[in-house]
Amino acid sequence: MTIATTPALDWQVTRNLAARSPQERDAILANPGFGQHFTDHTVDVCWSVGGGWHRPRVQPYGPISLDPSAAVLHYGQEIFEGLKAYRHADGSIWTFRPEANAARMQRSARRLALPELPVEYFIDALEQLIAIDGEWVPSEPETSLYLRPFMFAKEAFLGVRPANKVAFYLIASPAGPYFSGGVAPVSIWLSTNYARAGKGGTGAAKTGGNYASSLLPQAEAAENGCQQVLFLSEDTYLEELGGMNVVLVYRDGTLVTPDSDSILEGITRDSILQLARDRGHRVEQRRVTIDEWREGAASGDITEVFACGTAAVVTPIGQLKAADFTIGSPDAVAGEVTMSLREELTDIQYGRVEDRHGWLHRLDN
């Protein structure tokens, strides 16, 4: 009997001769912001219909050369992921549930008619990047190295069909808090003019088009003094924010979060809900109407609401603003359940408490 295995990748490594000096790197790591600076290398693997996954490379970070007719530039055949590398107190480097990101990337790939990158290759790519750019993982509290795997159609062809040539890349960016105010409660804007996704669409996939369609409503949110936008389905049911999931906390300790086929199933949300269940909270994943939130907030039944995602971690929502009503206030204080779940999650990620669910994966050796 033969057992099918994924052949190991034979990496070709080209070091960046113009890599930043330790001093330059430290200056960036002292104040990384979010998504503004990138490490010295990229990892990439090619795919073609005839050749499968091939030419695995670690290369100097730099521009990608693409044919102007590359399919991604016209029809948006693209997917991505987001996860983080955390430095523990002993200097070791870990990531959080990478298999879940790899599996989600495979689901996104299926929806976007892209090839499924084997989970082993996804994790190998992370380890390759950390092997060469591990010094870029910051060590200050609440900082991390944001890892951004992505895949796109690079075939030069204007016909509308799945591309026969695809590239997978991994880049990394040192990260501080996503919101400039840190973990202070944020205000969010209820979009009623725009939807992020529709039934049968690409809402559950992590694909660029979903984010492109969120930019105009996100700009509307900013005009109304809000940091994020909340989308509804059928003008009624809570979906998610532009780049994070949403969870409501009830007075009796129940956590409620939308069940929908058109939202991104967050790994942060899944982890937070598990931690809450471990503490004895009831957790409900079901349809939630905007009226339930309004009425629950007014009656005091809903005591806290938070956003969660890799970039945002767990961020309290102080206020929801809509064209004709407001819930909460911009001066709201962060909720106790929100902050204590946030602390437990980050304690696990930074190795400060036991990883009882086996969520951490060591990236350096």
Residues that bind ligand COI (CB under 6 A): 82, 243, 309-311
Question: What sign has the CA pseudo-torsion 114, 120, 121, 127?
Answer: positive
Residue from 278, 355, 349 nearest 308 by CA = 349
Let me know how long the chain is: 365
Instruction: Kindly state the smallest distance separating residue 155's Cβ from ligand PLP, in Å.
Output: 27
**Segment near ligand PLP (CB under 6 A), from 54-62, 105-113, 151-159, 242-250?**
242-250
User: What type of residue sits at position 123?
Assistant: I
Q: Is 244 in the site for ligand PLP (CB under 6 A)?
A: yes
The smaller minimum CB distance to ligand PLP, of residues 256 and 264, is found at 264
The smaller minimum CB distance to ligand PLP, of residues 19 and 119, is found at 119
Which runs of consecutive H residues, i.e. helices, occur in the chain?
22-30, 72-75, 98-111, 119-133, 208-223, 267-278, 290-299, 336-349
**Rounded CA separation 104/137 (Å):** 24
Choose the contact partner of 118 out of ligand COI, ligand PLP, none; CB within 5 to 8 A by kind.
Answer: none
Are 201 and 214 within 8 A, CB to CB? Answer: no
Choose the contact partner of 233 out of ligand PLP, ligand COI, none; CB within 5 to 8 A by kind.
Answer: none
Choose the contact partner of 264 out of ligand COI, ligand PLP, none; CB within 5 to 8 A by kind.
Answer: ligand PLP
Instruction: Kindly state the smallest distance separating residue 101's Cβ from ligand PLP, in Å.
Output: 7
Which residue in the shown chain puts its C-beta closest to ligand COI?
82
Are 133 and 39 within 8 A, CB to CB? Answer: yes
Instruction: Kindly state the smallest distance separating residue 230's Cβ from ligand PLP, in Å.
Output: 11
List the interface residues with ligand PLP, window 303-332 (CB under 6 A). Answer: 309-310
- The residues near 251 (Cβ < 8 Å, ≥ 6 apart) are 300, 301, 302, 303
